[in-house]
Amino acid sequence: MLTLNSEIETLKGVGPALKKKLNACGVNLIEDLLFLLPYRYEDRTKLYPIADAPHNERALIAGRITDSKILFYGRRSLSITIEDETKKLKLRFFYFSNSQFQQFKNNSHVICYGTIRTDSKRTEMIHPEYRFINSKKELKGDETLTPIYSAIDGIQTGRLKNLIRQALNVMKTSKPQELFPKKILNDLKLPNLENALINLHQPPPQTDWSNTEDTLVKCRERLSFEELLANYIRLRKLKLLAQNTTATALKDGNNKVIDFIQSLKFNLTPAQKKAYKEILDDLDKKRPMMRMLQGDVGSGKTIVAAIACLKAISNKTQAAIMAPTELLAEQHMESFLHWFGPLKINVIKLTGGQKKTIRKEILSQVENGKIDLIIGTHALFQDGVVFKNLSLIVIDEQHRFGVNQRVALRKKGEALKKQPHQLIMTATPIPRTLAMAAYADLDSSIIDKLPVGRKSIETIVIPNDKRKSVIDRVKNACINGEQAYWVCPLIEESETIKADAATDRYDHLKDILKPLSVGLIHGRQKNSEKENMMRLFKDAHIKLLVATTVIEVGVDVPNASLMIIENAERMGLSQLHQLRGRVGRGNKQSYCILLYKKPLSAIAHERLSVIRETNDGFKIAQKDMELRGPGELLGTKQTGLPQYRIADLVRDAHLLPKVQKIADNMMNNFPKETKKMVIRWSNSEHDYGKV
């Protein structure tokens, strides 16, 4: 007999190919199908007479077929005429087969669901869903609201719906395991798992169609709460596991750190001082530091990371810095060579684009302990990279990496049977609710003030038809010794996306701005080309740099005081804020000009208004999450952010304080249920989340 714990291939119609597709989506057991919820519902409960059916909205009607023919004038189409006691109606199909045509026999009866549209020539229903009926007993609407499911890659929605229907039938004799104690559910005022699943997949007949979300909200909250809780517990467990392992206590080197700070040509801000003291306090302990350093663009996170690295190196151990791009790794390399050069610290860069001979020599020196600080990209993850005594890992732009990758890099320090300390940096300010859910395994330090002397960037929003005045402004700025960026969303012109392309804009600006030097940088160039172009721009050999969003992260050119962003209406708030942060790094007043194409949507208008009115990254991030959702805020489907199946961090933010409270209760008093809950929502027991 089938149970919810039976393998997915035991269902009718699931062969090896379909099983592979389902497994790839996290569907391994029959029970997993039940957590693929409808994203909306349709009301097919009322069967309308044709004459009374509403127009321009979806409705259910029925009739007897009186005519069927294929029309060839204009676009080839299949035309079916049906009628009931009140009126006739045309059904029209533009995509059909001969066998489909043969089904529509005169005098047979059909029920159709679709939208009736009327124009000056005809009233018709185009491409309705339909089924044939044999008797008047079948002439009725559905008993419940009809669930509509999202498509899964390579699986038709009809096929998926059939599998979910089978799973619901299995649930009649095999109940899903309720992992919450009754008292917790009662305190939360949430239904049990079985009732929540049944109501969401098969809303009861009395469900009010006009108020579906309110009616079913508690059922959805029941599942969202469990998913949020499972992810939160998994991250909490990761933190607890780290606290139960041993790290190298980095107690030496305090005097070297003080001397280094005093040698800097600038003063650290109070926020920077507070952050580095919190970090050094963690490094002094025998348990691995797991700390996130948040700071707005230009707030000075890198120098704080340098202090942490110096502390590690002063204890005769190695430090590693991982960046998401080779461009950012090169930027860090330059900064650390400048700071650490006088201290005779050996710094080296390791990236995927290096020649084999160079890479082999670097790996040998890293393994032998001759290198103190290793700066690299994801190449640091690879198996061939062996450290002699790694004690500190700094991960820049955390949202580009995921928990799995953090764990993989942490294992690089296991040569000494000790876990390295971790410092996670991000220039994307994270709203409190998102940080609570996505980074529960990390302590947090925040640099919330810009360095002294930094001027706020003035942001101006201008329509495309004023482009000439913007070009004149760029020309005047460059003639007066300043530099500028011109950012486009695309590399080349696209037939499907109406947005300005960097290559076209480069050709245009290079021509009309002669003799000013104009450069071009984009993601398809070789790394050596990008690095050379950035070096020329940084050394002021290039006055205007036309670029794609590849410059969003890590480029630091103090002389650049003007940022132009094309098609700003297409970008998210956090991305606009990141790009804007590429200027304003010197002591000159800097400007960011946002060019947009008319007409603006309501959301685009609101987005541009927010970016114009504030430079506060945390306010911008919160608004961005409200407008676009957390996945978009940190990069759609980035591995750094949990990919929730049901929960939504904006919609369900009010649940998170309760999640934190219940987590302690579950972990302390119901460990077996807690472990099963984590496995249910992660489909496996990763080493970072075993509970």
Instruction: Report pLDDT digits (tens) over 642-683.
Output: 568 898 877 888 898 899 899 999 999 999 999 999 999 875
CA dihedral (542, 548, 550, 552) positive or negative? positive
The answer to whether position 327 is within a domain reads yes
pLDDT of residue 41: 86
Length reported for the chain: 691
pLDDT of residue 625: 73
The answer to whether position 128 is within a domain reads yes
pLDDT(105) > 90: yes
Q: Binning pLDDT at 50, 70 and 90, where does residue 637 land?
A: very low
Q: Which long-range contacts (CB under 8 A, 24 or more apart) does 213-220 make?
A: 218/189, 218/190, 218/191, 219/191, 219/195, 220/37, 220/196, 220/646
pLDDT of residue 528: 78
Cβ-based neighbours of 130, under 8 Å, separated by 6 or more: 91, 110, 111, 112, 113
The C-alpha R_g of the chain, in whole angstroms, comes to 30
Q: Residue 27, CB half-sphere, CA atoms under 13 Å: how many?
A: 27
Chain centroid, CA 326 distance in Å: 21
pLDDT(620) > 90: no
Q: What is the layout of strands, in order, in the sheet containing 347-350?
A: 347-350, 373-376, 318-322, 390-395, 421-426, 290-295, 443-447
Q: Binning pLDDT at 50, 70 and 90, where does residue 408 land?
A: low
Q: Which long-range contacts (CB under 8 A, 24 or more apart) does 505-512 make?
A: 505/546, 505/566, 506/546, 509/471, 509/474, 509/544, 509/546, 512/471
Tokens standing for 388? 């002699």
CATH of the domain at 76: 2.40.50.140
Chain centroid, CA 506 distance in Å: 30
Same domain, 409 and 266: yes
The answer to whether position 441 is within a domain reads yes
pLDDT of residue 492: 60
Same domain, 482 and 391: no
Could you tell me if 621 and 488 are in contact, meaning their C-beta atoms sit under 8 angstroms apart?
no
The answer to whether position 290 is within a domain reads yes
Q: Give residue-wise pLDDT tens across range 491-547.
A: 765 544 555 688 889 999 999 998 999 999 988 888 778 888 888 998 899 999 999
Q: Binning pLDDT at 50, 70 and 90, where does residue 638 land?
A: very low
**High-pLDDT (> 70) share of the chain, %:** 89
Tokens standing for 123? 């009233």
Q: What is the number of structural domains in the chain?
A: 3
Average pLDDT, the chain: 86
pLDDT of residue 686: 46
Give dist(CA 316, CA 388) in Å, integer.
Answer: 11
Same domain, 402 and 262: yes
Same domain, 435 and 491: no
Q: Which among 542, 583, 581, 535 is positioned nearest to 559, based on CA atoms?
A: 583
pLDDT of residue 296: 79
Torsion of CA 182, 187, 188, 192, to 10 degrees: 20
Q: Among 143-147, 158-162, 539-543, which stretch is predicted with the lowest mean pLDDT?
A: 143-147
Same domain, 475 and 571: yes
Chain centroid, CA 595 distance in Å: 25
At residue 321, the 3 state secondary structure works out as: strand
Q: Binning pLDDT at 50, 70 and 90, where does residue 201 land?
A: very high
Domain residues for the domain of 309 are 254-447
Same domain, 422 and 533: no
pLDDT(428) > 90: no
Q: Give residue-wise pLDDT tens across range 439-459.
A: 777 888 988 877 776 788 999
Q: Which among 22, 73, 684, 688 is positioned nearest to 410, based on CA atoms?
A: 688
Q: Give residue-wise pLDDT tens across range 115-129.
A: 999 887 788 999 999
pLDDT of residue 612: 93
pLDDT(617) > 90: no
The answer to whether position 135 is within a domain reads yes
Same domain, 275 and 400: yes
Q: How many helices (H) and strands (E) does the chain have?
A: 23, 22
Q: Among 119-133, 372-386, 417-431, 638-652, which stretch is predicted with the lowest mean pLDDT?
A: 638-652
pLDDT of residue 633: 40
Same domain, 499 and 408: no
pLDDT of residue 635: 41
Same domain, 425 and 470: no
Choosing from 447, 466, 482, the residue where a domain stops is: 447
The answer to whether position 9 is within a domain reads no
Give dist(CA 494, CA 508) in Å, integer.
Answer: 17
Could you tell me if 477 and 542 are in contact, meaning their C-beta atoms sit under 8 angstroms apart?
no
Choosing from 447, 477, 510, the residue where a domain stops is: 447
CATH of the domain at 366: 3.40.50.300
Q: Give residue-wise pLDDT tens across range 459-487.
A: 999 999 899 999 999 999 999 999 999 99
The answer to whether position 186 is within a domain reads no
pLDDT of residue 214: 67
Assign 3-class secondary structure to 110-165: EEEEEEEEECCCCEEEECCEEEEECCHHHCCCCCCCEEECCCECCECHHHHHHHHH
Tokens standing for 228? 């949020």
Our CA angle for 278, 282, 283, nearest 5°, is 115
pLDDT of residue 243: 76
pLDDT(634) > 50: no
Same domain, 490 and 567: yes
Same domain, 388 and 504: no
Choosing from 82, 113, 141, the residue where a domain stops is: 141
Same domain, 427 and 542: no
**DSSP string of 193-217?**
HHHHHHHHHS--TT--GGGHHHHHH
Q: Among 231-235, 272-276, 399-403, 611-615, which stretch is predicted with the lowest mean pLDDT?
A: 399-403
Paired residues of 388 in beta bridges: none
Q: Among 64-78, 407-421, 645-659, 673-687, which stretch is predicted with the lowest mean pLDDT?
A: 407-421
pLDDT of residue 158: 84
Q: Binning pLDDT at 50, 70 and 90, where does residue 581 land?
A: confident
The answer to whether position 513 is within a domain reads yes
Place of tokens 């947090």: 444
pLDDT of residue 118: 87
